[in-house]
Chain A
Amino acid sequence: MTYTVPLPRLGTFAAWRSAARALAGARVPPEQIIWMPDGSQAGLFDAPPQPLPEARAPVTATKAFLTLAEQMCCHRDPRTFDLAYQLLLGMQTGRHKLSNRADVVVNHAQQIAKNIRRDRHKMRAFVRFREVTQAGANRRSFVAWFEPDHRIEELNAPFFARRFADMDWAIVTPEVTTTFRLGEVTHTAVAATPPDLHDDTEALWRTYYANIFNPARLKIKAMQSEMPKKYWKNLPEADLIPDLIAGAEARVMQMRETAPSLPPVRAQRILDRLPRRQEGDI
């Protein structure tokens, strides 16, 4: 007997969790379950969705597992749902322990969750809001376009809500639009393309980015490992990078070759006015 579990694009984790709880309660083996995330095609021989089985035994899960499973459920690879279920089932019998990183299943699950956390972190880092406040509005409004690797929109919304609570904002991804209006978060699963927005403050940010860079310490690989090129197209500062790199060596050469200049006249006057340090002070 095979169970087919449809998983919606929004609320994926909640749906997985309630199905997994029921299936694990009936000790249904993983190979008898087909997890069907939104957008996946039902196979020709897949059983149609059917009622979940009656529970035979209690199912317990630690808080750490729930955190892990929530992160895993954001992954694009549909096999991840199966892996999370395997882990849940194995934890009921003590076969898998989350603390045991030498366990192949646990380690695989942890690595998937780590990828999701990285994706989540990069979204927190690289979302760039642009202002869209209407004239006369009493709250300021911002919109950002972001392309995450995984389905992390819901996982990440609380972070932005905690941080940007005194303004309205929307984060638009190719699949989900998250809006925050007057303190309320709403998600809509709707296909979208990058909105055409302009924000004058970006000129200041680009000025800052170009000037905080130290040309004498070029470390391009270090930059790219943390800010991979795939993000660049949505970062207002990133198109400065090629020229900053290209000009770096010449700028350092110039610093080296310029002979030390004479101090401006005012320098000595200022120094003379400073109180002398007492000897023995140091």
Chain B
Amino acid sequence: MGKLSLQEKLALLSDAAKYDASCASSGTTRRDSKDGKGLGSTEGSGICHAYAPDGRCISLLKILMTNFCIYDCAYCINRVSSGVARARFTPEEVVHLTIEFYRRNYIEGLFLSSGIIRSPDDTMADMVRIARMLREDHNFRGYIHLKTIPDAAPELIEQAGLLADRLSMNVELPTDAGLKAYAPEKNAAGIRRAMGGVRARKEAAAEKSHTGKRGAKFAPAGQSTQLIVGADGANDATILQSSTRLYGDYKLKRVYYSAFSPIPDSTAKLPLIKPPLIREHRLYQADWLMRFYGFEADEIAPDAGMLDLEIDPKLAWALANRHAFPVDVNTGARAALLRVPGFGTKSVQRILAARRNGALGYADLKRIGALVKKAQPFIVARDWSPGALTDAANLRARFAPPPEQLSLF
């Protein structure tokens, strides 16, 4: 094999990175380069600089340092047993691409991940070196997300957290059994230990010392993880329970759900499927309900274990819990309004503020931005009452798509 050009390496190592769903660049500390001595800024919410035809935002330069890997995870394009072409960036090349892309306003920063080479420590040390070159040699003040190698030495994770905005470790499979079957070299207990370590380190950084000073910021945009959906047999209830644990026990900022997607050169162990995109979408909706709408996992995941693909989980919950409705938009508590289908957190905020000026009617809700058509069976307003609609037997049919007709040849 001849020497690969930078462009050839970039092609291979971005292709290898695309199965990671995260591209967030939000929620870190505010920084800028107004002093003229550096490059970059971060201001609350990140920016998506492009969108690929898969509808995903491109906010970060998402690449692998190398796709050589000594692990054999069945779902992964980079597993040791795959015949995919291999490449490796030098740290200088990663730094060059990041800085030059950033200067042209293509990206918000770098999301660096890697296959495991030689040993977890060697891999992590190289990644830390890249982040340090960016921060110290180039005064780079943009966003850095480092994928952490769970088995790496704590000192390396410590350094990574001081340089990066976000750290992540991918659990990938929602159950330990799934991990054992499909990612035999990964270690569930080790991942949990490392995530717990990052949480503890973050909390220590947030605490003031006896002099009232705070320690150096540690991964200010938090840590995240990813679960693959549809590769193993885990159902939605199981997935949502693991998310609840991940948010609760490790204070994760985000859990990403990634529909298992065909990869070139698959393994016989894990046959390719059509990626379950709607299921992935419903899981994200459910995840949002748990984080911003006050729902618990066991409320949303039905007994059968799978979310309804035809209607969103909030509507499904409302249809199954009609006794909680209708809610009066002019007197209802915030928590009750948040459970109304068609009301987002923003609409609820606006309803609470607007109703202080007088009772709200149907048209007011529309102006406020609520999806009134969806909400109407579940609410009472100044000039609106759903009557028997709330309990109508055919209510689900109003929202679910009509059954698809079989076409004749």
> In the assembled complex, how far is the CB of residue B278 from the closest CB belonging to chain A, in whole angstroms?
11
> In the assembled complex, how far is the CB of residue B31 from the closest CB belonging to chain A, in whole angstroms?
9
Say if the beta carbon of B40 comes within 8 Å of chain A. yes
Say if the beta carbon of B323 comes within 8 Å of chain A. no
Task: Pick from B240-248, B266-274, B283-291, B295-303 the stretch touching chain A.
Answer: B266-274
Contact of A271 among B6, B57, B80, B265 (CB under 8 A): B80
| Shortest Cβ distance from A166 into B: residue | B39
| Bound Cα distance from A126 to B224, whole angstroms | 27
Contact assessment for A218 and B262 in the assembled complex, using a CB-CB cutoff below 8 Å: no
User: Which of B19, B51, B83, B265 counts the most A-chain CB atoms under 10 A from its CB?
Assistant: B51
Task: Pick from B179-187, B231-239, B308-316, B395-403 the stretch touching chain A.
Answer: B179-187
User: Which of A104, A121, A219 counts the most B-chain CB atoms under 10 A from its CB?
Assistant: A219
Which residues of B in the span 319-369 have a Cβ within 8 Å of any Cβ on A?
Answer: 350, 353-354, 356-358, 360, 364, 367-369
Contact of B11 among A124, A211, A264 (CB under 8 A): A211
Task: Pick from B98-106, B196-204, B206-214, B371-379 the stretch touching chain A.
Answer: B98-106
A107 contacts across to B, CB distance below 8 A? 367-368
Contact assessment for B265 and A258 in the assembled complex, using a CB-CB cutoff below 8 Å: yes
> In the assembled complex, how far is the CB of residue A1 from the closest CB belonging to chain B, in whole angstroms?
33
Say if the beta carbon of B70 comes within 8 Å of chain A. yes
Which residues of A in the span 57-99 have a Cβ within 8 Å of any Cβ on B?
Answer: 97, 99
Which residues of A in the span 213-260 have a Cβ within 8 Å of any Cβ on B?
Answer: 213-223, 226-227, 235, 237, 241, 244-245, 248, 252, 254-256, 258, 260
| Bound Cα distance from A201 to B10, whole angstroms | 12
Contact of B58 among A97, A124, A212, A215 (CB under 8 A): A212
Contact assessment for B104 and A130 in the assembled complex, using a CB-CB cutoff below 8 Å: yes
Say if the beta carbon of B388 comes within 8 Å of chain A. no
Contact assessment for A204 and B6 in the assembled complex, using a CB-CB cutoff below 8 Å: yes
Contact assessment for A167 and B39 in the assembled complex, using a CB-CB cutoff below 8 Å: yes
| Bound Cα distance from A252 to B14, whole angstroms | 18
Contact assessment for A258 and B51 in the assembled complex, using a CB-CB cutoff below 8 Å: no
Size of chain B's interface in residues, with CB distance under 8 A? 83
| Bound Cα distance from A220 to B56, whole angstroms | 10
Task: Pick from A16-24, A47-55, A157-165 the stretch touching chain B.
Answer: A157-165
A131 contacts across to B, CB distance below 8 A? 103-104
> In the assembled complex, how far is the CB of residue B242 from the closest CB belonging to chain A, in whole angstroms?
14
Say if the beta carbon of B50 comes within 8 Å of chain A. yes
Contact assessment for B48 and A282 in the assembled complex, using a CB-CB cutoff below 8 Å: no
| Bound Cα distance from A129 to B99, whole angstroms | 13
Contact assessment for B101 and A205 in the assembled complex, using a CB-CB cutoff below 8 Å: yes
Say if the beta carbon of A44 comes within 8 Å of chain B. no
| Shortest Cβ distance from B70 into A: residue | A270
Contact of A223 among B51, B63, B176 (CB under 8 A): B51
Say if the beta carbon of B125 comes within 8 Å of chain A. no
Contact assessment for A183 and B36 in the assembled complex, using a CB-CB cutoff below 8 Å: yes
Contact assessment for B53 and A244 in the assembled complex, using a CB-CB cutoff below 8 Å: yes
B262 contacts across to A, CB distance below 8 A? 216, 252, 255-256
Say if the beta carbon of A140 comes within 8 Å of chain B. yes
| Shortest Cβ distance from A215 into B: residue | B54
Say if the beta carbon of B249 comes within 8 Å of chain A. no
Contact assessment for B268 and A282 in the assembled complex, using a CB-CB cutoff below 8 Å: no
Contact assessment for A204 and B10 in the assembled complex, using a CB-CB cutoff below 8 Å: yes
| CB-CB nearest 5 A-B residue pairs | A222-B55, A219-B55, A263-B81, A102-B364, A162-B32
Can you spell out 10 A-B residue pairs with CB atoms less than 8 angstroms apart?
A101-B369, A162-B41, A166-B38, A212-B62, A213-B54, A216-B262, A217-B56, A241-B53, A258-B264, A260-B265
Known: A129-B104, A164-B105, A267-B80. 15 other contacts (CB 8 A): A99-B353, A101-B354, A101-B369, A107-B368, A129-B105, A162-B34, A163-B39, A165-B34, A207-B11, A226-B55, A235-B50, A254-B264, A261-B265, A273-B70, A282-B187
A residues sitting closer than 8 Å to B (CB atoms) are: 97, 99-104, 107, 121, 124-131, 140, 142, 144, 159, 161-167, 183, 199, 201-205, 207-223, 226-227, 235, 237, 241, 244-245, 248, 252, 254-256, 258, 260-261, 263-264, 266-267, 270-271, 273-274, 277, 281-282
